[in-house]
Copies of this chain bind each other. A is one copy, B any other.
């Protein structure tokens, strides 16, 4: 039985979407049980499905910024992580505060042996349908070359196991493609990646090429990764809004927009964060996913699919294997 635990507090629109998504998921997956930890009292429960376990926890943190204090408190996040630690759950999902989540996971569940720093790794859907692993997007604002190198090795295993990519292409995102350009940690990481024959390193790439997906894994420090990710989100949403606004000005373009609806839908589906917005916390000892606070049922179903696949393929065993030098 695959055991998933979910911290259901912290979603912008309450825990209802979790309940619906998990119920739907469990009907289709008889090999899985899900424990929801959080404000169960807010859920209108009818006909509870099999293998869905509910633990009520409506504890509210006093000061969300005081991470040190919050690590000790009986929050739904801490309670969910405790289930991982005690072996009562195999994988975890949360939409709670990112900083708090990565700290609690690292301190309580621990890192994969030999891992310097865990990273946030969203899966970007490129326009050609390809999935690109982008890391780090904010767990480590400042990095050392060694972190990037280690993430490359972990992400390679991830890409092989989860997407069946034999020899994933690895790039370093940089301000230019010439090898003399960039910050010291980027240039140093390029040397480490180039020297390792087990990695398919393809050189620097500029951030403008991200959705063309000429690679499977894009490495960058957490500061740069966060700026890139949010710039893409912002540009696409702004462009979409602008089309809407401009199209409504004339009858001709209004009709055009109506006819083009399937096109917009297709593109937004490809780019929709709900199809890819979950970010893995790569480098911790258990499979852990972070989802947006604004996630809806679709987003949660996608996260559940990914977690199920990670458990099904014993992803963590292989990630630990690469850290031990056994793969």
Contacts and interface: CB of A to CB of B under 8 A. Distances in A.
Give how many copies assemble into the complex.
Answer: 2
The CB with the most chain B CB atoms within 10 A, among A231, A237, A247, A260, is that of: A231
A256 interface: yes
A253 B243 contact: no
A124 to B, nearest CB: 11
B175 A127 contact: no
Interface string A19-55: 0000000000000000000000000000000000000
A274 to B, nearest CB: 16
Contacts of A235: 210-211, 231-232, 235-236, 239
A230 B241 CA distance: 20
Interface residues of A, number: 56
A62 interface: no
A227 B134 CA distance: 14
Contacts of A242: 127, 267, 270
B263 A257 contact: yes
Interface string A204-244: 00111111100000000011101110111111111101110
Contacts of A263: 243, 246-247, 253, 256-257
A138 interface: yes
A116 B208 CA distance: 30
A258 B178 CA distance: 40
21 contacts: A127-B242, A141-B183, A175-B226, A175-B230, A206-B230, A208-B231, A208-B237, A210-B234, A211-B235, A211-B238, A224-B224, A231-B232, A235-B236, A236-B239, A239-B239, A239-B271, A250-B262, A255-B256, A256-B260, A257-B260, A259-B259
**Closest CB pairs A-B (n = 5):** A256-B259, A208-B234, A235-B235, A256-B260, A231-B231
